[in-house]
Amino acid sequence: MPSTRRTAAGVAALSAAAALVGLTPTTAAAHGAVFNPVSRVAACYAEGPESPDSQVCKDLVADSGTQPLYDWNEVNIANADGNHKALIPDGKLCSANRAKYRALDWARTDWPATAVSAGAFDFRIRATAAHSGTMTMYVTKAGFDPTQPLKWSDLDATPVAVYNTTRTATDGYYAFTGNLPARSGRHVVYMVWQRNDSPEAFYSCSDVTFGTAAAATAAKAEAPTEAELAAGAELSTVSHAGHGGDEQPPALSAEAAAAPDSPLPMALAGAGALAVFGAGSLLLGRRRDSSAS
Ligand SMILES: [Cu+2]
């Protein structure tokens, strides 16, 4: 029917225009997430944003919708510039004080967790965009109470790992070894990743258990598979391969393999893809909130 087609075309054109407007000044950035130990947002994403298994991830979606999970690689502050403690109040460490990710701050003892023990620990961070900077991993002090909101003073001042990140991440991952101290029960591993080529910084909380008793009562956190990441990428509002031509995408990303020399065709293709998803979203009644990024 001509009128229907005209309407559909109009929707697509509007979406394309909206996508272009949205792209120009405020393209949301893609960075990554801690996959070992599994961060809260990564664990809930792995359960499936549309049908999480654990009660805490169900509650997260009920409170905040699925978009925080589809945007698992985003949790950032664009202008942090090293001022983490000034910008993030106590109790807001896991969300980086961003309302979009507020559920990550919940002081609950049922977050899926990774069983760990004192000694060497192999950290793995899935980086959808590699950045030059410093990744600092902290663990909570002995005696930490996981039923209370996480405060800066809960973190042991001595990092369990400090890693200098580069603009390339092997197979899309940063991997490095740290050293965990002796602890017992449920704790939090906190990441601060400060870029040195921009003021932007990224943050995350991973739940860990020390000792067999704590591990026995905790749901085991699983990291998303590459297939799961790919399956949800189209519903992400953040780029999965660098932002604005500033970064080099991870070596193994599909975008890297197909990237043209000029950034312009890629930008236009991106806008077209966004228009398609935008139109689909309108038809599905999905609400996008891009204002928070
Ligand atoms: Cu990034």
Q: What is the percent of the chain where pLDDT is above 90?
A: 70
CB 240 within 8 A of CB 146: no
The answer to whether residue 116 sits within a structural domain is yes
- Of 85-94, 198-207, 266-275, which range is least confident? 266-275
Report the separation in Å between the CA atom of 25 and the middle of ligand 1, taken as the mean of its atom positions: 15
The answer to whether residue 115 sits within a structural domain is yes
CA separation for the pair 90, 226 (Å, rounded): 33
Report the separation in Å between the CA atom of 121 and the middle of ligand 1, taken as the mean of its atom positions: 25
> What angle do the packed helices 263-284 and 2-26 form, to 10 degrees?
130
Report the separation in Å between the CA atom of 39 and the middle of ligand 1, taken as the mean of its atom positions: 17
Per residue in 135-194, pLDDT tens?
A: 999 999 999 999 999 999 999 999 999 999 999 999 999 999 999 999 999 999 999 999
CA distances in angstroms from 155 to 135, 144, 192, listed in the order given: 15, 9, 12
Report the separation in Å between the CA atom of 139 and the middle of ligand 1, taken as the mean of its atom positions: 24
Beta bridge partners, 127, equal: 32
CB 267 within 8 A of CB 23: yes
In what helix (H) or strand (E) does residue 134 lie, and over which residues does it extend?
strand 133-139
User: Is residue 1 over pLDDT 60?
Assistant: no
Q: Which residues contact 50 (CB under 8 A, 6 or more apart)?
A: 66
Report the separation in Å between the CA atom of 14 and the middle of ligand 1, taken as the mean of its atom positions: 28
Task: Please give the DSSP secondary-structure letter assigned to residue 83.
Answer: -
The answer to whether residue 8 sits within a structural domain is no
User: Is residue 76 over pLDDT 80?
Assistant: yes
The Cβ of residue 230 has, within 10 Å, a number of other Cβ atoms equal to: 12
Report the separation in Å between the CA atom of 195 and the middle of ligand 1, taken as the mean of its atom positions: 9
- How remote is the C-alpha of 271 from its chain's centroid? 22
Instruction: Report how many domains make up the chain.
Output: 1
CA separation for the pair 227, 30 (Å, rounded): 18
Report the separation in Å between the CA atom of 75 and the middle of ligand 1, taken as the mean of its atom positions: 10
The answer to whether residue 12 sits within a structural domain is no
Report the separation in Å between the CA atom of 277 and the middle of ligand 1, taken as the mean of its atom positions: 22
Which residue range is the domain that position 212 belongs to?
Answer: 28-239
The answer to whether residue 265 sits within a structural domain is no
CA separation for the pair 93, 76 (Å, rounded): 11
The answer to whether residue 187 sits within a structural domain is yes
Domain CATH number, residue 201: 2.70.50.50
The answer to whether residue 205 sits within a structural domain is yes
Q: Which of 133, 136, 128 is nearest to 248 (CA)?
A: 128
CA separation for the pair 96, 76 (Å, rounded): 7
Alpha helix stretches (DSSP H) within the chain = 2-26, 40-47, 55-64, 67-70, 84-87, 212-217, 226-232, 254-258, 263-284
Report the separation in Å between the CA atom of 86 and the middle of ligand 1, taken as the mean of its atom positions: 21
Q: Report CA Rg, the chain.
A: 20
The answer to whether residue 9 sits within a structural domain is no
Tell me what pLDDT residue 238 has.
Answer: 85
Q: Which of 216, 280, 287, 242 is nearest to 15 (CA)?
A: 280
Report the separation in Å between the CA atom of 280 and the middle of ligand 1, taken as the mean of its atom positions: 26
Give the chain's mean pLDDT: 81
Tell me what pLDDT residue 29 has.
Answer: 61
Report the separation in Å between the CA atom of 127 and the middle of ligand 1, taken as the mean of its atom positions: 8
